[in-house]
């Protein structure tokens, strides 16, 4: 498979290969200008945009997105989901001929607003809910799934998201990432790995609970060091985690935290292998840390930049239906989640009720993961039996060379 090499100049314009552990949310503003949007020409073949409008009875689909909060707001995720709805209704026949009617709710990423959004979805009578990314899964998934409504997201981190009936996580998300990191550490002969994790109610416990068994099974000791949110200088925390027996260091947090940790690693002269996630490839972080990211490995679930047909389709759909939207960062979560639902539910029979949509998703096999570089998903509970909501455990790993993400490899 041929891949396009993305230079530093195009990082902000065409997006980056991204991972979205649901809790590691990016900061509110990207600071991009008009040139950093999905305004490039449509490169996908005409066959990707057939004239196939949906003309049946509408089907209500919910969308919950972190937006308008005091610290977190990602409207581009919603804009990407809206672009998919326009694409599906005009070019894919909607869902089995039914046009999608989108019902949106902005969660401020606190339990109260998350529960309010979940209740709004139940009251609206939606057939399914797409959640772009959240750290409030335990506040939303039970309300939605216990109402018999599908809860679907590109990835999840909470117990409710990963185990509830009618919950579907298109990728392995955080558990899959930790498992891949553990396997990578074993392959490279590391005896110990330190994870610097955002110190909140979700990230540190999840890292220990999900990462501990994975690293233990790989024969690698896992050390988790909490980093208080908003810490501008993480040198003390980083210094405590880079002893001589540590072979690799991982960062689990937002772009601001990653910038601080990577800078601290450089200041301290740390030589450990850097194992990163998507927020570390935010354009602001790439610019701030410079060559300190050289040789780092990024564990991800989407390819947005190559000439793979799914990556091309992502850029083309965004260029056609939401040309003013920045495609980097977490934007793709709205696209991947909404188009994943559309694809998985196409076999729905009869009226597209909530039970019918759930049954269609459970029966769908080897569905192409949007922007997934050839990865497919099946939501029958077989991908990771201990966490039946997970639909695929495969991911993509890239290496940073001369500031560029290169050599995407499907792993898992």
Which structural domain, as residue segments, surrounds residue 278?
A: 174-300
Query: Does residue 379 lie within any of the structural domains?
Result: yes
Question: What confidence tens digit (pLDDT) does each residue in 203-232 have?
Answer: 899 899 989 999 999 999 999 999 998 899
Query: Does residue 11 lie within any of the structural domains?
Result: no
Residue % of the chain over a pLDDT of 70:
90
Which residues lie across from 410 on neighbouring strands?
396
Do residues 164 and 179 both lie within one domain?
no
Do residues 233 and 340 both lie within one domain?
no
Last residue of a domain, one of 251, 269, 300: 300
The per-residue pLDDT for 21 is: 42
Do residues 158 and 212 both lie within one domain?
no
The per-residue pLDDT for 7 is: 34
What radius of gyration, in Å, describes the C-alpha atoms of the chain?
A: 20
Q: What's the total number of domains in the chain?
A: 2
Q: How many angstroms separate the CA atoms of 2 and 5, rounded?
A: 10
Token pair listed for 366: 């080897």
The per-residue pLDDT for 387 is: 87
User: Which candidate, 254, 264, 255, 257, places its Cα nearest to that of 231?
Assistant: 257
- Secondary structure (DSSP) of 46-110: GGGS------S--EEEEEEEE-S-SS---HHHHHHHHHHHHHHHHHS-TBTTBPEEEEEEEE-SS
Whether residue 17 has pLDDT greater than 60: no
Do residues 26 and 157 both lie within one domain?
yes
Judged on CB neighbours under 10 Å (0-12, 13-18, 19+), 187 is exposed
Judged on CB neighbours under 10 Å (0-12, 13-18, 19+), 295 is exposed
Q: In what order do the strands lie in the sheet with 221-227?
A: 221-227, 192-198, 248-252, 273-276, 297-300, 395-401, 404-411
Last residue of a domain, one of 300, 326, 359: 300
User: Which candidate, 320, 323, 300, 297, places its Cα nearest to that of 371?
Assistant: 300
Please tell me which residue, 328 or 5, carries the higher pLDDT value: 328
Last residue of a domain, one of 271, 300, 329: 300
Positive or negative, the CA dihedral 273, 278, 280, 281 is positive
Please tell me which residue, 156 or 405, carries the higher pLDDT value: 156
The average pLDDT across 129-143 equals 95
The per-residue pLDDT for 41 is: 66
The average pLDDT across 291-305 equals 89
Whether residue 201 has pLDDT greater than 80: no
Token pair 């089907």: residue? 59
Do residues 340 and 284 both lie within one domain?
no
Q: How many angstroms separate the CA atoms of 306 and 366, rounded?
A: 22
Do residues 158 and 221 both lie within one domain?
no
Query: Does residue 5 lie within any of the structural domains?
Result: no
Do residues 166 and 28 both lie within one domain?
yes
Please tell me which residue, 129 or 10, carries the higher pLDDT value: 129
3-state class (DSSP) for residue 82: helix
Cβ–Cβ under 8 Å, residues 17 and 398: yes
Query: Does residue 13 lie within any of the structural domains?
Result: no
Mean pLDDT, the chain, rounded, equals 87
Do residues 258 and 295 both lie within one domain?
yes
The average pLDDT across 365-382 equals 95
Cβ–Cβ under 8 Å, residues 319 and 42: yes
Best-predicted range by mean pLDDT among 15-19, 130-134, 254-258?
A: 130-134
The per-residue pLDDT for 328 is: 77
- 8 band by pLDDT with thresholds 50, 70 and 90: very low
Do residues 193 and 112 both lie within one domain?
no
The average pLDDT across 179-205 equals 91
Which residues lie across from 18 on neighbouring strands?
302
Token pair listed for 123: 């009251």
The per-residue pLDDT for 371 is: 94
- Secondary structure (DSSP) of 381-407: S-SSTTSTTB----EEEEEEETTEEEE
Do residues 34 and 125 both lie within one domain?
yes
Q: What are phi and psi of 398, to 5 degrees?
A: -125, 160
The per-residue pLDDT for 397 is: 83
Distances 259 to 31, 76, 113, 349 between C-alpha atoms, Å = 16, 22, 29, 49
Query: Does residue 92 lie within any of the structural domains?
Result: yes
Q: What are phi and psi of 390, to 5 degrees?
A: -75, 130
Do residues 54 and 129 both lie within one domain?
yes
Query: Does residue 64 lie within any of the structural domains?
Result: yes
Whether residue 2 has pLDDT greater than 50: no
First to last CA, the chain: 18
Best-predicted range by mean pLDDT among 49-53, 301-305, 325-329?
A: 49-53
Do residues 267 and 354 both lie within one domain?
no
Could you tell me the CATH number of the domain that includes residue 271? 3.40.50.2300
Judged on CB neighbours under 10 Å (0-12, 13-18, 19+), 111 is middle
The per-residue pLDDT for 159 is: 87
The per-residue pLDDT for 281 is: 77
Cβ–Cβ under 8 Å, residues 58 and 314: no
- 382 band by pLDDT with thresholds 50, 70 and 90: very high
The per-residue pLDDT for 24 is: 46
Whether residue 22 has pLDDT greater than 80: no
């Amino acid at each position: 498979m041929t891949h396009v090499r993305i230079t530093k100049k195009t990082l902000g314009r065409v997006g980056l290969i991204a991972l979205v552990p649901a809790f590691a949310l990016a900061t509110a503003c990207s600071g991009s200008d008009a040139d950093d949007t999905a305004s490039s020409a449509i490169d996908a073949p005409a066959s990707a945009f057939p004239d196939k409008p949906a003309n049946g009875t509408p089907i209500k689909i919910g969308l919950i997105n972190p937006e308008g909060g005091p610290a977190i707001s990602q409207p581009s995720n919603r804009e990407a989901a809206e672009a998919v709805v326009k694409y599906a209704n005009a070019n894919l026949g909607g869902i089995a001929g039914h046009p999608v009617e989108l019902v949106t709710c902005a969660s401020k990423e606190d339990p109260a607003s998350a529960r309010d959004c979940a209740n709004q979805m139940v009251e609206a009578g939606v057939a399914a809910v797409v959640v772009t990314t959240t750290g409030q899964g335990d506040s939303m998934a039970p309300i939605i799934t216990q109402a018999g409504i599908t809860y679907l997201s590109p990835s999840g981190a909470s117990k409710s998201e990963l185990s509830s009936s009618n919950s579907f996580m298109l990728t392995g998300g955080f558990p899959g990432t930790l498992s891949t990191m553990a396997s990578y550490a074993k392959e490279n002969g590391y005896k110990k790995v330190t994870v610097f994790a955002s110190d909140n109610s979700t990230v540190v416990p999840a890292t220990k609970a999900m990462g501990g068994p994975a690293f233990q099974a790989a024969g690698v000791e896992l050390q988790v060091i909490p980093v208080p949110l908003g810490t501008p200088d993480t040198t003390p925390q980083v210094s405590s985690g880079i002893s001589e027996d540590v072979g690799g260091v991982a960062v689990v947090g937002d772009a601001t935290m990653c910038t601080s940790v990577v800078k601290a690693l450089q200041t301290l002269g740390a030589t450990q292998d850097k194992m990163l996630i998507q927020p570390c490839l935010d354009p602001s972080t790439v610019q701030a840390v410079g060559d300190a990211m050289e040789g780092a490995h990024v564990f991800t679930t989407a390819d947005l930049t190559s000439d793979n047909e799914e990556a091309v389709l992502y850029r083309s759909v965004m260029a056609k239906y939401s040309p003013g939207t920045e495609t980097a960062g977490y934007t793709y979560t709205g696209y991947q989640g909404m188009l994943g639902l559309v694809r998985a539910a196409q076999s729905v029979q009869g009226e597209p009720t909530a039970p019918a949509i759930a049954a269609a998703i459970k029966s769908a096999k080897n569905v192409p993961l949007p922007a997934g570089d050839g990865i497919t998903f099946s939501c029958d509970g077989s991908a990771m039996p201990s966490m039946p909501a997970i639909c695929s455990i495969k991911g993509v790993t890239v290496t940073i060379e001369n500031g560029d993400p290169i050599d995407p490899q499907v792993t898992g």
